[in-house]
A and B are shown apart, each in its own frame.
Chain A
Amino acid sequence: MDSHSVLALALPLGLALTAVGSALALGKAVAAAMDATARQPEASTKILVNMMAGCALIEALTLYSLVFGFSLMGKI
């Protein structure tokens, strides 16, 4: 197994693993936001804004690994 095939295996796997982590975290965040909105519908705009900010932060983790994937893709 040379370095090219290791990279070709590891890049999609790593991206998939970070996507799993991000998906779990996003699920938690959105579920909590839905809960809060159901309890307090009048604060829904504020909760939505905060949720969006948090979701963007969580998603960024997947995108970091996507950047690494793209930057290492040239070595395959």
Chain B
Amino acid sequence: MQEHEVATTVHEAASHGASHSEAHELPNFITALSDLLPNSPWVDFLHHWENAVFSLIACFLIAFVAIRAARKGQIIPQGIQNFCEFVVEAVDGFVTGILGEKGRDHVPFLGTVFIYILLMNWSGLVPFMKSPTSSWSTTLALALTTMVYVQATGIKEQGLGHYLKHMAGNPSNLFGIVLIPLMLVINLTIEFVAVPLSLSLRLFANVSSEDRLLFKFAELNVLFKGLPFFFQLFANVLAIAFSVVQAFVFMLLSTVYISLILPHDQHGHEEHEHAVAHAH
């Protein structure tokens, strides 16, 4: 019975999508609403901003869980507080493992990015929900935020003069000074164009292709009366695993970008760090 309902919903979504644009994802409650009430301006508004709606739902979920966990500050944590402390300590251990003890300042940003992206990726697996990260606008916003954070960290930690010198390729002799325009163009392109593009496109491509895969298998399930059910199950398991991996990779790359832009003299082996930075 339920299968039949899901089947009709999928078909409706497919036909509805075909009338406007091609449907790539499983229907969510907003597309269902816009099917039921085609002329309501409120539903149109929600349908237009559905990615923002679902990312706000993820925000509220994080805020709710965090407030619930922090309300009773026990010395010996229990239940939800225990779980949250476990997550925070894992992220903290990972970030300080790469950035050193000074990197603890960046744990709040990086941990927030990780948990937020993970929840947004997973929300595509919940019935009547959608992954906001399956559209480029959300992931581009995340990547631009990360880029601004990284550059601001660079200016704050190195000072504006050293930051500009780093951008100009650390000229030390006449040859370096001649090369300044070239290095400036290369560094600016890498930092302000390549980094956000690669961060956002990677996440967007992964999550949107996961969602398309789930949609295609749901379609096949409807066409062949539930025969490819185990393919669907396999795709679901794959989507759960790869959502974690993609959120982790986003956090890892943000951490690496921060570690590349931090001043290098605190590590002791300056030459090696410079070599890594330039190879990058």
Contact = CB atoms under 8 A, between A and B. Distances in A.
Nearest to A52: B245
Interface stretch (B100-108, B122-130, B201-209): B201-209
Contact of A56 (B201, B204, B245): B245
Interface stretch (A3-11, A22-30, A31-39, A57-65): A57-65
How many A residues are at the interface, by size bracket? 10 to 19
Interface stretch (B36-44, B48-56, B246-254, B267-275): B246-254
A53 B198 CA distance: 14
A66 interface: yes
A56 B207 CA distance: 13
B202 A60 contact: yes
A17 to B, nearest CB: 17
Contacts of A67: 201, 204-205, 208
Nearest to A71: B136
A64 B199 CA distance: 11
Interface of B: 198, 201-202, 204-206, 208-209, 245-246, 248-249, 252
Interface of A: 52-53, 56-57, 59-60, 63-64, 66-67, 70
19 contacts: A52-B248, A52-B249, A53-B248, A53-B249, A57-B202, A57-B249, A60-B198, A60-B201, A60-B202, A60-B206, A63-B202, A63-B205, A64-B201, A64-B202, A66-B205, A66-B209, A67-B201, A67-B204, A67-B205
